[in-house]
Amino acid sequence: MADVHGVLPLDKPTGMSSFDVIRKLRPVLGTRKVGHTGTLDPFASGLMVLLFGHYTRLADLMVAQDKRYLATVDFSGRTTTDDVEGDIVEPGPGRVPDRAAIEAVLPRFVGDIEQVPPVYSAIKKGGEALYKKARRGETVEVPARTVHVAGIDIVEHSPETLVLDVRCGKGTYIRALARDIGAALSAPCHLSALRRTEVGPYEVDSAARLDEVRGPDRLQTGRAAVRGVRLTDVDASSAERLWQGKTVSTAEPDGDVLCFLGDDPVAWVRIERGQMRVKRGFPPA
């Protein structure tokens, strides 16, 4: 199976895991080399930025991009999984709390916050995913970690419905955020729906639907495909040195940069004290 190369912003439907989507796309696109910049649970929908072929080398660089979600919160109770797929373990009020009460607690969850991820998560402890331990009935201690939430806004509020617009950084669990907001309100709840609307500068409104992808023609390549990442140009001589894994002198400021020769990616480099050092190289076009 020959590899194809590029980036595909995709609107994932509900009812499929992120890996179900990848398994379906591999034969359609004629490639096995697929990466992503963040998965979505089966009950969730929205934007996945998929990477194919050589572009999978950018996964670590692009996964750090901020994300945006529409989160629907259900106050019928807290569940084992903190979302609609779990069983209720603590009944809630059944109605959405007063808007003023919600607005009063939301600032506690903005900025750098300590968050305990859900027990049913893919985080590994002792080399095994936590959800596997939880499914066996094991008691799992999940350590808190610091995550960044840039903002939370109420976009819909009624006695039956609460929808939040959440902008956050890497590693934030929206279902844990909903759980903790409910705890702050003394109103046990869970996440009943989730839609990712943005990944960095990528937006779901311009993403392809799964049924629209019938071949590699939907993949984006070159500069237009790589958004929210610092880019720079190099000449042919510097590109050759980078392809060989050698350093290249530069006057650019320090930081991670993706180098291009024309519209072809050359290497993801780290600039330190005037020297480019290769972190991931792209084969010559």
Q: Which of 3, 11, 20, 41 is catalytic?
A: 41
Q: d(Cα 101, Cα 224) in Å, to the nearest integer?
A: 44
Please check whether residue 252 is in contact with residue 232, taking contact to mean a CB–CB distance below 8 angstroms: yes
From 20, 2, 54, select the one nearest 10 (Cα to Cα): 20
Helix, strand, or coil here: 79? strand
Helix, strand, or coil here: 242? helix
Active site residue 3: no
* Pair type for strands 145-157 and 162-168: antiparallel
* Type of residue at 247: T
Residues 6 or more apart in contact with residue 113 via CB below 8 angstroms: 146, 147, 148, 149
Q: How many residues does the chain have?
A: 285
Q: Enumerate the active-site residues.
A: 41
